[in-house]
Structure 1
């Protein structure tokens, strides 16, 4: 009976070791995914900042043009 218990314990330990190994591999994959996503997030934030700056420039140009049109209409 003791031998059977030791075998069961050994099997459970082996299963636990295998599960731990699989979980460690999964953790490594998730760490890689996290790093990749952080890089993509940084790139997207940079793109967003650039596009916002361009948008602001266009807004300023349009405001200037509208101002010139209004001034021309007043002078006419």
Structure 2
């Protein structure tokens, strides 16, 4: 079950990073950022970046947990 969750979050991280870049395009391509513009696109892009941060944080925590388990197994094997 954990592998499926990690795989899904890995895919979510790719989808949200590309989606955020596409939604930020109106602001990145416009030299005059100040003023009326594509506020909705930027808000959705920021939302997708938040999802990306959550997905990456989850995968990072699981990786650290796996590293700690390997460390504990090394101690058990060496003793």
Structure 2 residue runs of 5 or longer lacking an equivalent are 1-34
* Residue number among 48, 63, 69 corresponding to 2:60 in the alignment: 48
Q: Counterpart of 1:62? A: 74
TM-score, normalised via structure 1 length: 0.54
Shift of 1:44: 0.5
Q: Counterpart of 1:39? A: 51
Q: Which has the larger radius of gyration?
A: 1
Structure 1 residue runs of 5 or longer lacking an equivalent are 1-18, 68-76
After the TM superposition, list the runs of 4 or more consecutive aligned residues in structure 1 that deviate by more than 3 angstroms.
none
RMSD, matched Cα: 1.2
Q: Secondary structure of the residue that 1:54 maps to in structure 2?
A: helix
Higher helix share: 1
For the residues of structure 2 that align with 1:36 and 1:60, how far apart are their CA atoms? Answer: 36
Shift of 1:27: 1.4
For the residues of structure 2 that align with 1:44 and 1:32, how far apart are their CA atoms? Answer: 18
| CA deviation map 1:31-72 (0-9, x unaligned) | 0110001001101100011111111000000111112xxxxx
